[in-house]
Chain A
Amino acid sequence: MAPAISLRGVTKRFLTPSGGVYTALHDVDLAVEPGEFCAVVGPTGCGKSTTLALISGLEPPSEGEVQVLGKPVSGIADGIGYVFQSDAVFPWKTVLENVAAGPRYHGAANREARDRARDWISRVGLAGFEDRYPYQLSGGMRKRVALAQSLINGPRILLMDEPFSALDVQTRSLMENELLALWSASSASVVFVTHDLEEAISLSDRVFVLTAGPGTVKSNYKVDLPRPRNVAEIRFQPRFAEIYEELWSDLRDEVLVSYERQKRSGAA
């Protein structure tokens, strides 16, 4: 079976405002199977978010090929959901309008879009908050809105860019469990970007470690922990600790390289 997502020899360069060239990703090979939950970890500035931008079609690669669902990516394709790191729900729309946006953009009638939105709002546990505006919600609730907003389109690929990094620890593990429940009810492939190794292991089937920028895939671990998982408890399993240790020994070097670089550029 063809992978849901594949990146082959992908390099991404950006022009900096001063006219220089910045290489965010270098020769990245990466494949995600259909229905697989993958995490991408790496030190700050290694191009994790860029990887998602390439898969989503928001950015074209400079070199190499990105394929999603067997087709080369050219522009934003259907069947992709994207949960952003910062709040990207629309502040001038109510919860209901926010969640109904996707179906409406895809040509659904207003009434049908709203009905489907109500269903998704209750699935993410926000029933009763349909008429609130985002500023009236807590950070965790806004994330739920973002999740429902993406999932209502029935994406076959779900891209998540450190979605829970701004949440407090308790809310976070709650959201992680809910994400796993929602994901297991769908057949979507997930690419979950995070800098948190624990989060990566407890959620995923596979973890990609990127090197310090320009990022390239350093290693690719299969996480063979049983499902369904409880994110809050799985960390106490001995197997979790083994995987963690292995991955950390890979990641540590890259984090050090990245840290050294930051210190130097800070001193310069």
Chain B
Amino acid sequence: MSAVATAERPVSDLAARRARDARRRQLTVQGLRVLTAVVWLGSWELTTRLGWVDKFFFSQPSEIALRLWTWISEGTALGPLWYQVYVTMEETVLGFAVGSILGIAFGVTLGGNRLLSDVFSPYIKAANSIPRVVLGALFAISLGLDIRSKVATAAILVFFVVFFNAFQGVREVDRNLIANARILGADNRRLTTEIIIPSALSWIMASLHTSFGLALVGAVVGELFGATAGVGELIYSAEHLFDAAGVFAGILLLAAVALVAESLITALENRLIKWRPQVVVETKFG
């Protein structure tokens, strides 16, 4: 009986049902997401309003939203909000660019040269084992309190992540591809630009995701060591006034910035590595 039923059912029907199921699932997921936010924010708001949790330390969602609105409409104590975001973004992007370029350059060079990599490896490992954010203090002294010290802090955090990935990427290049390119007549320059770098690119791109987050950390930490503007400075000054709502609002801003940047990098990645079958990166956490 069921055999007859399947034989008679047109294929399009099956496809429609599959699509409907997928839509329904999508709705369920979205609904549960909203519910999670409501429960979380609602319980936070409720417990602080009822006085079970001290609002002074933990603030409350409505207050944070209000603070954000004030910042947007009236500006912050440090000046207009967009300017704070702009300053931090400038530091982050510059630090990210400097760190990535240096990381790729060093990674590709050392990855392709065994002597250099043997000579430098203990120093790089040692430098990597230092908690590098503290270097921000050094940069604040040596480079001053302007943008350079923040860029340097961001760049040094980015550098190591990108460096190790680029290095590994170069080491993992398929020997067959190199042999093939050499037989086809590629010289060393072509080998580097057409074989080694493209094949290392997926490793490098994977590290760019993490490293943009680190660039943001570097910029914010750099601001904590002394700054006149920026989201980090905004958080820092709120902390000094025991203004928990201000701290939370700053964190929220940072999260929004990081999310936007993340999607930009994903777009860049899809552009650069279009030769690879599309993989779902959205479900990847962290």
Chain A residues within CB distance 8 Å of chain B = 56, 58, 76, 78, 80-82, 84, 86-94, 101-102, 105-106, 133-135, 149-150, 153
Whether A90 lies near B177 (C-beta < 8 A) is yes
Contact check, B180 vs A153: say whether CB atoms are below 8 A apart.
no
- Cross-chain pairs A/B with CB under 8 angstroms, 14 sampled: A82-B183, A84-B176, A84-B180, A86-B176, A87-B176, A88-B174, A92-B199, A92-B275, A101-B186, A105-B181, A105-B184, A105-B186, A135-B275, A150-B183
Interface of B is mostly: helix
Q: Which residues of B contact A94 (CB under 8 A)?
A: 275
B:127-181 near A, CB below 8 Å: 174, 176-177, 179-181
How many cross-chain pairs have Cβ atoms below 8 Å apart between A and B?
Answer: 64
Question: Does B276 contact A91, Cβ atoms closer than 8 Å?
Answer: yes
Contact A88 B180 (CB under 8 A): yes
| Known contacts A88-B177, A88-B180, A105-B190, A153 near B185 by CB under 8 Å | yes
Does B239 touch A at the CB level, under 8 Å?
Answer: no
Contacts of B277 in A (CB 8 A): 135
A94 to B274, CA, bound (A): 10
B194 interface residue, CB < 8 Å from A?
yes
- Name the residue on B nearest A90 (C-beta): B177
Given contacts A102-B185, A135-B276, A153-B185, A90 and B194 within 8 Å (CB-CB): yes
Chain B residues near A150: list those with CB within 8 A. 183-184
Cα–Cα distance between A78 and B187 once the two chains are bound (Å): 12
The chain B residue with its CB closest to the CB of A80 is: B183
Q: Number of residues in B with C-beta < 8 Å to the partner?
A: 23
Contact of B179 among A82, A101, A149 (CB under 8 A): A82
In the complex the two chains form, is A76's CB within 8 Å of B183's CB?
yes
Task: Check if B198 is an interface residue, CB within 8 A of chain A.
Answer: yes
Interface residue ranges of B49-81 to A (CB < 8 Å): none
Asked if B195 is an interface residue, CB under 8 A from chain A, the answer is yes
Q: A59 to chain B: closest CB distance in Å?
A: 10
Complex contacts, B186 vs chain A, CB 8 Å: 101, 105
Bound together, the chains give a CA A91 to CA B199 distance in angstroms of 9
Query: Are B183's CB and A56's CB within 8 A?
Result: yes
CA distance A150 to B195 in the complex (A): 17
- CB distance A88 to B179 under 8 Å? yes
**Does A90 contact B187, Cβ atoms closer than 8 Å?**
no
Task: With A135-B275, A150-B183 given, name 16 new contacts (CB 8 A).
Answer: A58-B183, A76-B182, A78-B185, A84-B179, A88-B174, A88-B177, A90-B194, A90-B198, A91-B275, A91-B276, A92-B273, A92-B275, A93-B275, A94-B275, A102-B185, A105-B187
* Complex Cα gap A58–B183 (Å): 8
**CA separation between A198 and B185, bound complex, in Å?**
33
Find chain B residues with CB under 8 A from A89 CB: 180
Residue from the set B176, B274, B276 with the largest chain A CB neighbour count within 10 Å: B176
Which residue of the partner chain A has the closest CB to B273?
A92
Q: How far is the CB of A3 from chain B (nearest CB, A)?
A: 21
Pair B276/A82 contact, Cβ less than 8 Å: no
B195 nearest in chain A by CB position: A90
Q: Which residues of B contact A56 (CB under 8 A)?
A: 183
A76, A92, A101, A153 interface centre (most CB from chain B within 10 Å): A92
Cα–Cα, bound, A76→B182 (Å): 7
Residue of B nearest to A146 (CB): B180
Q: Is B275 in contact with A101, judged by CB distance below 8 angstroms?
A: no
Q: Shortest 5 CB-CB distances between A and B: which pairs?
A: A105-B185, A88-B180, A92-B275, A102-B184, A92-B198
Least CB distance from A104 to B in Å reads 8
- B174's nearest neighbour on chain A, judged by CB, is A88
Instruction: Give complex CA distance A88, B182 in Å.
Output: 12
The smallest C-beta distance from A160 to any residue of chain B, in angstroms, reads 12
Nearest-neighbour CB distance to chain A for B285, whole angstroms, equals 26
Query: What residues of chain B lie closer than 8 Å to A87, measured between beta carbons?
Result: 176
Chain A residue numbers with a CB within 8 Å of B176 are: 84, 86-88
Query: CA of A76 to CA of B187 in the docked complex: distance in angstroms?
Result: 11
**A108 to B37 alpha-carbon distance, docked (Å):** 61
B residues less than 8 Å from A101 (CB atoms) = 181, 184, 186, 194
